Chain A
Amino acid sequence: DQQVKQNSPSLSVQEGRISILNCDYTNSMFDYFLWYKKYPAEGPTFLISISSIKDKNEDGRFTVFLNKSAKHLSLHIVPSQPGDSAVYFCAASVKEYGNKLVFGAGTILRVKS
């Protein structure tokens, strides 16, 4: 039962343009969502999060949008830089179940210079 889905295995974007990574979820009880970035041979690095009471959160070049009715969230990176090339994971949790994260399968982002 894949509760968090990242349907695009990979995405290629030109440097300076916007990268949009998408994530869908099925469990309506999820109330906290996060994005992580992962480089090879390293652990996931936390990027940005959003609570289900909000629909947008910004941190520098990164913005996360949450559409609860569509059970969809997205991560926008503007402008994209070559150093952003990594695997991006979407994750979600339910407060009642503690803080355990359910992860999507990841999307490989390649930013071309």
Chain B
Amino acid sequence: DSGVTQTPKHLITATGQRVTLRCSPRSGDLSVYWYQQSLDQGLQFLIQYYNGEERAKGNILERFSAQQFPDLHSELNLSSLELGDSALYFCASSRDNINQPQHFGDGTRLSIL
């Protein structure tokens, strides 16, 4: 058990819809990261928050947004969903911002029908 909690585990929805994925980091971790794992792309970094502020962005689509709340949990919002957004979305957390191992949750599997 990594201590990182992601909900829901599975999400099935239709094209054009909007969903919210939630992540609770390990106790004491200030940084939260979101990654997408699709069949053809592997694990791809999306976005990082540190203590409530955005710190780094990867190839995150404009239809996607995230935030980190004062209690340090984070949400990833995906809107105008397309078939290609079907993937595993992982959240990870680390103690701080630099050269620290990240600990991953078990992911949310998103299926777009």
Contacts and interface: CB of A to CB of B under 8 A. Distances in A.
Q: How large is the interface on A (under 10, 10 to 19, 20 to 34, 35 or more residues)?
A: 20 to 34
B18 interface: no
A40 B42 CA distance: 14
Given A44-B104, A105-B42, A106-B42, A97 B56 contact: yes
Contact of A101 (B45, B106, B107): B45
A99 B99 contact: yes
A44 B98 contact: no
Contacts, number: 65
Contacts of A46: 101-104
Contacts of A41: 106
B102 to A, nearest CB: 6
Interface residues of B, number: 29
Nearest to B90: A43
B58 A100 contact: yes
A45 B2 contact: yes
A86 B28 CA distance: 29
B90 A44 contact: yes
Given A43-B90, A95-B98, A95-B99, A100 B45 contact: yes
Contact of B102 (A97, A99, A102, A105): A99
Given A42-B106, A43-B2, 19 more contacts: A32-B99, A43-B4, A43-B6, A43-B90, A43-B104, A43-B106, A44-B90, A45-B2, A46-B101, A46-B102, A49-B101, A98-B97, A99-B94, A99-B97, A99-B102, A100-B45, A103-B43, A103-B44, A105-B42
5 tightest A-B CB contacts, nearest first: A43-B104, A98-B56, A103-B43, A32-B99, A46-B101
